[in-house]
Structure 1
Amino acid sequence: MLIQEVIEGIERYYGGIGFDGQTIDDQTTRDQILYGDAAQVCTGIVTTCWASAAVIQEAKAKGANLIICHEALFWNHGDRTDWLAETKNETFLQKKALLDDGGIVVWRNHDYIHSGIPLDDGSYADGIFYGLIQELGWEAYADRSYHLEVLLNFPETTVSAIGKELIEKLRLNGAKVIGRLDTKVRKVLIYGHVVGDDNELIKRLEQEEIDLLITMELFDFTASEYVEDSSLLLANKAILTLGHFNTEEPGMKYMLHYLSEIVGTDMPTYFVQSGDMYHYLT
């Protein structure tokens, strides 16, 4: 099977409706071949969140010539490389050499996986958030909407207990918390980004009595300030942030559960964790 055929089969598997409610346009989608020649036979597939230098080396060691990543390869939206080539950026040249040496193709799977994987009841669930919940074993607590967020209802626990569970199960170096570690938690919202005008999010946290917000990116402004003030006034409010890649990577790991349906059981498939790039000094 050619790499191009693998990619086309994966695209057909998903719901195929983009964030704008329209059918994903293959000319304008983020989901492009970021590197390499897809007209070659696929020798194996590695899924990951981000094709770091370490992931590329591991793919080569496994004999896999297709890396399916969720985020950009060369550190910018659109994955343009002209500016890197013009300035002879040394890291770019070394990473490019790794790819060339392994004959590796990198394809980005972002819009398609978010458009939904098919479930047994005929519905579609965002493949990133669904995979995260499966990896954590939190299916019984989730509301099953899985569309760029997940609402969960837990038996009473604490921010500290949930944080430790996330760090252990997702193999992370740590997590950041706003609010008290002993905050009692029942209702949790896994949410995309707290990065700007968050008036509607603040309303939801209050009106829906959400105790813990788990986010990817986190600014110090708006909702973060609200949660800090709420915590200081002894409300059950906290934020726990893991980082963008750390939160989305389990969805790329979950791809292994359905890749064999698309490419057959003879195709070698692997998940390689790009890993927690954060280190914490305390």
Structure 2
Amino acid sequence: MNPDKASRRTFLMASLGLSAVSFIRPASRQTLTVGQVIDRIKTNVAIPWREQTVDNLIAGTQDMPVKGIASTMMATLDVLQRAAAKGLNMVITHEPTFYSHQDRIEPIGQDSLYQLKRDFIQEHGLAVFHFHDHWHGRHPDGIATGMIRELGWVKNNDSQNPRLFTFPETSLARFAQGMATKLGIRTMRVIGDPNLPIKRVMASWGNVSLMPGIPYLAQADVLVVGETHEWELVEYVQDAITSGQKKALIIMGHLVSEQAGMKYCAEWLKGFISEVPVDFLAAPEPYWRPDQPVR
């Protein structure tokens, strides 16, 4: 055999062999890290990131690889367990993980339940990111967007005031029942005449103090809130009704008053995170009525 032909044949076979090996080798996938997810959130929320904020990484490290993301209203132990079971090792929560708005550890550092929750997070390799201030600060507010969509109130929203809504006239009782049905609320509380005609509604999701609760109430027939101090805004509304004002207050419960906002957050995250699954995990309403026990 011609030595030159043999050499060329050997070279060709070697090249084909290398090509085959290259073809069957799986392509390397770049790992998505917790820090990269946070950076994308900061970019896409499209407002300046505050120096003083509760929006921080509460558990885990920036370089942890992300296998899946759970968006939730509150990182309860139940939610964390469900996230771990589904392989979602990064939890993005709107409310605190460790029982205070700032997730301060000092008051509860020796508490056995805190330690159990902390240990669960560590043992299951979870990262928890608190996403509150900037989700509210987004334009439009992420929580409000999700709640308005879930309630079907988009067409009723005032173009100049995102908290104000106008509806065809109905009774307070019927309006409140419609909200409770749409959101599956077990323990909504209502102050006011059940037959009070309702047209103008102010909504302030989450916690609402006496101020701005008073000016909100002045603009509408009923003010809808997540929660408020009973010795402040609740007493004020009671006195307003006693004085002859045609007013009402609907108290939804804090969790259910913002939950749909984190459902929407999961959809928003999918717009710029495609490498891993992103799911919404609902935190269950904590209260139940004695005449309707939880099954």
TM over 0.5: yes
Tell me which residue corresponds to 1:280.
Answer: 289
Given the superposition, is the C-alpha separation of residues 144 and 97 from structure 1 closer, same or farther in structure 2, using an over 3 Å criterion?
Answer: farther
Aligned CA-pair RMSD: 2.1
- The alignment status of 1:54 with 2:85, answered yes or no, reads no
Matched, 1:179 2:192: yes
SS at match of 1:255: helix
Of 98, 116, 139, the match for 2:154: 139
Instruction: Report the Cα distance in structure 2 between the residues aligned to 1:39 and 1:204, rounded to whole angstroms.
Output: 44
Provide the C-alpha distance between the structure 2 equivalents of 1:204 and 1:248, rounded to a whole number of angstroms: 18
Runs of 5+ in structure 2 lacking a partner? 1-31
Q: Which structure shows the bigger proportion of residues in helix conformation? A: 2
Deviation at residue 71 of structure 1 after TM alignment: 1.1
Alignment equivalent of 1:260, drawn from 250, 260, 270: 270
In 2, the alpha carbon distance for the partners of 1:64 and 1:175 equals: 32
Aligned residue among 116, 122, 135 for 1:113: 135
Distance in 1 (alpha carbons) for counterparts of 2:244 and 2:54: 43
Query: Aligned runs of 1:26-41 on 2, under 5 Å?
Result: 27-41=51-65
In the other structure, the counterpart of 1:120 is none
Give the counterpart letter for 2:272 in structure 1: I
Alignment of 1:198-213 (within 5 A): 198=211, 201-203=213-215, 205-206=217-218, 208=219, 210-213=220-223
Identity of aligned residues (%): 29
Q: Aligned residue for 1:271?
A: 280
Give the Å deviation of 1:247: 0.8
Cα deviation digits, residues 101-132 of structure 1 (max 9, x gap): 3211000111111121xxxxxxx201111111
In the TM superposition, what is the alpha-carbon distance from 1:204 to its structure 2 partner?
5.0
Distance 1:44 1:76, change over 3 A: same
Q: How does 1:78-89 map to 2 (within 5 A)?
A: 78-85=102-109, 87=110, 89=111
Are residues 1:13 and 2:23 paired? no
2:98 equivalent to 1:70: no
Give the 5 Å matches for 1:125-164: 125-144=140-159, 150-164=163-177
Q: Which amino acid aligns with 2:189?
A: K
- Kindly indicate whether the alpha-carbon contact (under 8 Å) linking 1:15 and 1:115 is maintained by their aligned counterparts in 2: no
- Offset, 1:145: 5.5
1:235 deviates by: 4.1
Q: What is the TM-score with the length of structure 2 in the denominator?
A: 0.81
Provide, for residues 39-64 of structure 1, a one-character-per-residue CA deviation record: whole Å limited to 9, x for no partner.
12211111111100000011011100
Q: Is the 8 A contact 1:185 1:236 kept in 2?
A: no
Do the aligned partners of 1:72 and 1:108 also contact (CA within 8 Å) in 2?
yes
Structure with the greater alpha carbon radius of gyration: 2
Distance across 2 between alignment mates of 1:130 and 1:113: 10
Distance 1:201 1:79 in 2: 26
The 8 Å contact of residues 92 and 131 in structure 2, kept in 1 or not, is answered as yes
Task: Find the aligned partners of 2:41 and 2:216 in 1 and give their Cα distance.
Answer: 35
Secondary structure of residue in 1 paired with 2:176:
helix
In structure 2, distance between residues paired with 1:261 and 1:202 = 38
Q: Give distance in 1, aligned partners of 2:262 and 2:215.
A: 32
> Residues 171-203 of structure 1: CA distance to partner in whole angstroms, max 9, x if unpaired?
22220111122221100000254434x4x6435
CA distance in 2, matches of 1:144, 1:67: 34
What's the offset of the Cα at 1:231?
Answer: 3.2
Q: Deviations over 1:213-252 (max 9, x none)?
A: 0012222345433432443466431100112222111111
Match of 2:121 in 1: 99
Mapped to 2, the partners of 1:182 and 1:66 lie a distance apart of: 47
Counterpart amino acid of 1:275?
A: P
Aligned residues: 259
Query: 1:165: Cα distance to partner?
Result: 2.3
* Aligned partner of residue 167 in structure 2, secondary structure: strand
